[in-house]
Structure 1
Amino acid sequence: MFGKKSDLMLFFAWIVACVATLGSLFLSEYLGYEPCKLCWFQRILMYPLTLLLGVAYFRGDTGIRIYILPLSVIGGLISAYHVTIQRIAAARAAATPSTSCGRVSCETDYLNWFGFVTIPMLALIAFILIIAAMIVISRQERRRW
């Protein structure tokens, strides 16, 4: 099934999206971590990637990258902003009015592995890995032509 590098990259991106989706569901549904508003936006952009990349992989459709890239870039930007307001005090002070999002503040830090790995950081890494896979596929497709 992995005849080409593009197929492998589609599979990789699909697995990353699945792990991110299942991870977020585990954190909220099993551990009871209530997502903030920015986390919801990240989920809205990640969850469809699981379905789209899965279908694309099984169909061998590398053209899906034109739909995956915008979702991933926007999700990555939201994740980067979320990481910034969690980690940088000056950004947090400047963003406070816009980040009071209901019952859970966007600055809430449920998870902190090694002093820097947070839930938004994990989402950012997932979006970056998916973007990288789509870029590799784009380059492979260009070489074909």
Structure 2
Amino acid sequence: MGQAPCDLCWFQRAFMFPLAIILGIAAFKSDRAVVPYGLALAAGGGLIALYHSLLYVGVIPAPIVPCTGGPSCSGESMAIGGVPLPLLSLAAFASILTLLLTFQRRLKS
């Protein structure tokens, strides 16, 4: 979107980018051993996304750093389909966690 991401957005990306790579390779190779690694990355990113979302909605009364000047993830222009980026990130990590847990349960059956 042409904007500099806040610190929390960077941390979430640090979890999401390797997750996309390892899950993509695992899907291509049908590697089922990747589930624990995917769960760890998705859980870590999900916790950061949850914290970020709580900051965004005001449950935690603190500023989002460095979202103090100019357009930021806390601005109205930083939404897709009317949903703010912090909440979209939380939904993405929650979806990945849910899918990996479902896949893991099917492997055990």
Would the aligned equivalents of 2:49 and 2:90 in 1 still touch at CA under 8 Å? Answer: yes
CA contact (8 A) 1:76 1:128 kept: yes
Q: Does 1:49 align with 2:49?
A: no
TM-score between both structures, scaled by the size of structure 2 = 0.85
CA contact (8 A) 2:73 2:85 kept: no
Which of structures 1 and 2 has the bigger CA Rg?
A: 1
What RMSD over aligned residues (CA atoms) do the two structures have, in Å?
1.8
Any stretches of 5+ residues in structure 1 without a counterpart? Answer: 1-26
**Alignment check: 8 A CA contact 1:76 1:127 kept:** yes
| Pair 1:35-2:1 in alignment | no
Q: Where is the helix percentage greater, Structure 1 or Structure 2?
A: 1
| Within-5 A mapping of 1:1-145 | 27=1, 32-88=2-58, 90-91=59-60, 93=61, 95-96=62-63, 99-101=64-66, 104-105=67-68, 108-109=74-75, 110-112=77-79, 113-114=81-82, 117-143=83-109
Count of residue correspondences: 104
8 Å CA contact retained: 1:79, 1:123: yes
Identity value in percent: 34
Q: How much does 1:54 deviate?
A: 0.9
Unmatched segments (≥5 aa) in structure 2 = none
